[in-house]
Amino acid sequence: MKKLLVALITVALFAFPVAGFCLDLSEVTYGVNGGVLLPQGDLDDAGMDMGYTIGGQGLMPSGVMDELSWGLCLSFGMMSGSESEGSIDVDVDLTIIEVLPTARFEFPVDAGDVKIFGQLGIGMAFGKSKIDYSPEYPAYGLEDDDDSSNEFGFAIGGGVSFMENFEAVALYKSFDDADYISLTIGYNFK
């Protein structure tokens, strides 16, 4: 099942640029964003602190309905944390790269220049964690460790666009055992 999902995401990643060349590229909206990551669940329990994220996106009209657009969102984020367990200090650094084919639905609300939307992305996160123990106790399995993983997951939430090109987005993201909320402010190039 996991291989099938990875294959579907790969097809979506290649279909987006190909579809962009087949459509009028003047309708594609590109954007950049940055913000914070708030750890939830296991990450919060592990003592992770608030992190940061930067990213970008490309969205185009779906052709199905005016309110629906689809595209690809990419982001890079980092979180870190530290805890003390008795005389042992543990420092953790987590790096996350997300690749999310995304759909966005703009609600038909008449609020002037402010537009409200919901967003759903399904894709992959490529993570790398670095754990440092001080002091190390190899006999008890407490020694520095680097680990990387690729996890399938989703991002769901919404946001508002304002002043024509700016947007604020809040998304709940879940990739296997990594759950967090991203809060970003972005600028879209039309």
Region 147-175 average pLDDT: 94
Q: Where are the domains of the chain?
A: 2-16+32-189
Report the half-sphere exposure of 72 (CA within 13 A, side-chain side): 16
Task: Residue 130: count other Cβ atoms within 10 Å of its Cβ.
Answer: 15
Tell me the backbone φ, ψ of residue 114, rounded to 5 degrees: -90, 130
Is the peptide bond between 135 and the residue preceding it cis, with omega within 30 degrees of 0? yes
**By CB neighbour count within 10 A (0-12 exposed, 13-18 middle, 19+ buried), where does 46 fall?**
middle
Calpha distance 189→47 (Å, rounded):
37
Region 47-53 average pLDDT: 93
**Which two tokens mark 77?**
């984020």
CATH 2.40.160.20 fits 2-16+32-189, yes or no: yes
| Per-residue model confidence as pLDDT tens digits over 61-113 | 988 899 999 999 999 999 998 887 777 778 889 999 999 999 999 999 888 88
Per-residue pLDDT at 157 exceeds 60:
yes
Report the half-sphere exposure of 57 (CA within 13 A, side-chain side): 26
